[in-house]
């Protein structure tokens, strides 16, 4: 295994010689017919139009002096989640992982999943405990068996990201998923036995109980979610939302109260430190199928494909976030479902008086076989360049900046050829996404192989499990730190210097009349 310094040396050498050397031969002729020179030229033209700007800045440089123009940060957000903070098993691996934030990634998504953030009511684990420390994880034989795997305490993660100058994105505040988000104690502890019995007597359905305090592996969690959804679907066939609320009123009130309390508690602790939030995650299907495409229906609880949810939970989530979060925090509506009713939902929420600052779109290419199909020119239609344009033209109708919030691109395998296939797919899709007018950020999901959630592929990282960089890392670094970074020079004149470049912050430097180097920082918006 190579050490970190030798990896850095490889990266530096790659930088000096162009970093990423594309081997187009690993992709079929059919693939390159889809991503042909005309397509690439159109992407370049859109990048030039939408991602760059002209600027003129006052400088105290002598007329005719050459001003060096160095971009030091991006206005666009290139992100990744940071769910494996200090969890990789060795200090050197953790150090390599952390070094990516602030160098490759200027944005990080921090885990705020309710189930693991608050495993017991009224006791959120914001602060680091022994089980969150690097020492604990370095001694952990089966890290995936730990319930807080991929769920580090937020305090140390946010403290770290602040030192790296990263934009911080919290994920998520409201989500109905029973396996990964909703705490089991909500139903177990806050629906009285008499109400559970009454519901069972009326419907003949027994809702699953799974006490957090009992050992429960990932399979148990997923099975419990399926059982929870199936049970509530049976209840939904027999009772209206009003009838459910009348049968389990204590639970319905507790459900609403705890959701509001959760958002309030998180806002009080992190509202001024976290830049943006996935306020509600994956609610468009409910909006369409269960809410008659109405953001506000006024029901006390809501039938949902997740099971039972608080009434108008998406609208209320944004209401609470707007109430408790500072105005500087961007509020995001996040989903994988990019049907026309997704952007309609965003407009409907705003029409009912809540603020939606941004919309989030996901794209997970989980199956390695899909990457093989893409290589052969037979890949999913929605990932062809014309379909990418059509998709984001549709999402843009919401009139909001777009955060491509969760991206997975899996390698067919981890052979050199398989890694090159992953890198080329990533490169072309990132370029197509970067060229979209409303796009403001792209967030890669699993940075390290074999560190995803169950069901996610083990070879979708840009680093191997022992933190060796894969070809995709070099391809991504080449885009972010070279192709999309402006480094140039221009002549000063009349006390100003003008240039065109990628949006972001710059250092301008020149020599004054005495030959001394002067510099100043500016921002190109």
> What pLDDT was estimated at residue 457?
86
> What pLDDT was estimated at residue 512?
94
Question: Which range of residues forms the domain containing residue 504?
Answer: 51-74+484-525
Q: Which whole-number Å values give the CA distances from 216 to 149, 180, 210, in the listed order?
A: 13, 12, 8
Q: Helix 91-99 crosses helix 4-16 at what angle (to 10 degrees)?
A: 30
- 320: in domain: no
- 193: in domain: no
> What pLDDT was estimated at residue 209?
82
- 187: in domain: no
> What pLDDT was estimated at residue 524?
98
- 515: in domain: yes
> What pLDDT was estimated at residue 217?
60
> What pLDDT was estimated at residue 9?
39
Distance in angstroms (rounded) separating the CA atoms of residues 461 and 195: 47
When divided into structural domains, the chain yields a total of 1
What's the distance, CA 37 to chain centroid?
Answer: 31
Nearest to 362 by CA among 332, 329, 325, 327: 332
Burial tier of 193 (Cβ tally within 10 Å: 0-12, 13-18, 19+): exposed
Nearest to 258 by CA among 127, 109, 120: 120
- 69: in domain: yes
Distance in angstroms (rounded) separating the CA atoms of residues 411 and 269: 39
- 181: in domain: no
Q: Enumerate the β-bridge partners of residue 280.
A: 174, 333
Nearest to 262 by CA among 327, 189, 315, 320: 320
> What pLDDT was estimated at residue 286?
96
Averaged pLDDT in 10-residue chunks for the chain of 525 residues:
38 46 97 98 98 97 97 98 98 98 98 95 96 97 92 98 98 93 93 97 91 58 81 96 98 98 98 97 96 95 95 98 97 94 94 97 94 95 96 92 97 97 98 98 98 89 97 98 97 97 98 95 97
522: domain CATH number is 2.60.40.10
Stated pTM of the model: 0.94
- 489: in domain: yes
Six-digit token pair at 493? 């004149």
> What pLDDT was estimated at residue 219?
64
Q: Enumerate the β-bridge partners of residue 276.
A: 169, 330
> What pLDDT was estimated at residue 178?
85
Tokens 């309390």 sit on residue:
261
- 65: in domain: yes
Burial tier of 85 (Cβ tally within 10 Å: 0-12, 13-18, 19+): buried
> What pLDDT was estimated at residue 4?
38
């Amino acid at each position: 295994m190579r050490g970190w310094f030798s990896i850095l040396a490889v990266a530096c050498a790659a930088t000096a010689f162009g970093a990423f050397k594309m081997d187009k031969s690993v992709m079929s002729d059919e693939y390159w017919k889809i991503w042909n020179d005309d397509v690439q030229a159109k992407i370049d033209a859109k990048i030039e139009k939408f991602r760059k700007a002209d600027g003129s800045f006052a400088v105290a440089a002598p007329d005719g002096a050459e001003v060096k123009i160095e971009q030091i940060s991006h206005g666009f957000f290139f992100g990744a989640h940071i769910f494996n903070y200090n969890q990789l098993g060795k200090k050197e691996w953790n150090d390599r992982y952390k070094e990516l934030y602030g160098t490759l990634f200027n944005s990080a998504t921090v885990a705020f999943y309710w189930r693991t953030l608050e495993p017991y009511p009224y006791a959120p684990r914001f602060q680091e405990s022994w089980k969150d420390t690097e020492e604990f994880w370095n001694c952990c034989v089966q890290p995936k068996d730990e319930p807080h795997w991929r769920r580090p305490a937020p305090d140390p993660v946010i403290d770290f990201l602040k030192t790296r100058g990263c934009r911080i994105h919290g994920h998520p505040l409201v989500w109905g998923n029973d396996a990964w988000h909703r705490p089991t104690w909500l139903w177990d502890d806050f629906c009285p036995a008499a109400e559970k019995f009454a519901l069972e007597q009326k419907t003949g359905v027994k809702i699953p109980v799974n006490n957090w305090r009992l050992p429960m592996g990932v399979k148990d969690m997923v099975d419990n979610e399926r059982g929870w959804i199936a049970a509530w679907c049976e209840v939904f066939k027999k009772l209206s939302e009003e009838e459910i609320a009348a049968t389990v009123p204590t639970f319905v009130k507790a459900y609403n109260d705890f959701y509001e309390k959760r958002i309030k508690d998180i806002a009080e602790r992190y509202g001024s430190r976290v830049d943006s939030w996935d306020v509600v995650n994956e609610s468009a299907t409910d909006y369409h199928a269960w809410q008659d495409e109405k953001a506000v229906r006024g029901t006390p609880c809501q039938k949902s494909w997740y099971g039972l949810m608080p009434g108008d939970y998406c609208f209320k989530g944004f209401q609470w976030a707007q109430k408790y979060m500072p105005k500087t925090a961007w509020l995001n509506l996040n989903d994988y479902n990019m049907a026309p009713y997704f952007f309609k939902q965003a407009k409907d929420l705003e029409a009912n008086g809540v603020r939606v600052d941004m919309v989030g779109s996901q794209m997970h290419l989980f199956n390695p076989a899909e990457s093989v199909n893409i290589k052969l020119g037979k890949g999913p239609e929605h990932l062809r360049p014309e379909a990418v344009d059509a998709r984001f033209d549709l999402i843009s109708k919401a009139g909001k900046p777009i955060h491509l919030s969760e991206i997975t691109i899996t390698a067919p395998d981890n052979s050199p050829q398989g890694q090159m296939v992953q890198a080329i797919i990533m490169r072309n899709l990132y370029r197509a996404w970067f060229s979209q007018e409303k796009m403001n950020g792209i967030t890669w999901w699993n940075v390290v192989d074999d560190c995803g959630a169950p069901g996610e592929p083990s070879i979708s990282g840009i680093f191997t499990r022992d933190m060796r960089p894969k070809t995709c890392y070099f391809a991504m670094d080449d885009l972010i730190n070279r192709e999309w970074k402006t480094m140039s020079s221009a002549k000063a004149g009349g006390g100003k210097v003008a240039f065109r470049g990628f949006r972001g912050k710059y250092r301008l430097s020149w020599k004054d009349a005495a030959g001394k180097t002067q510099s100043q920082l500016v921002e190109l918006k």
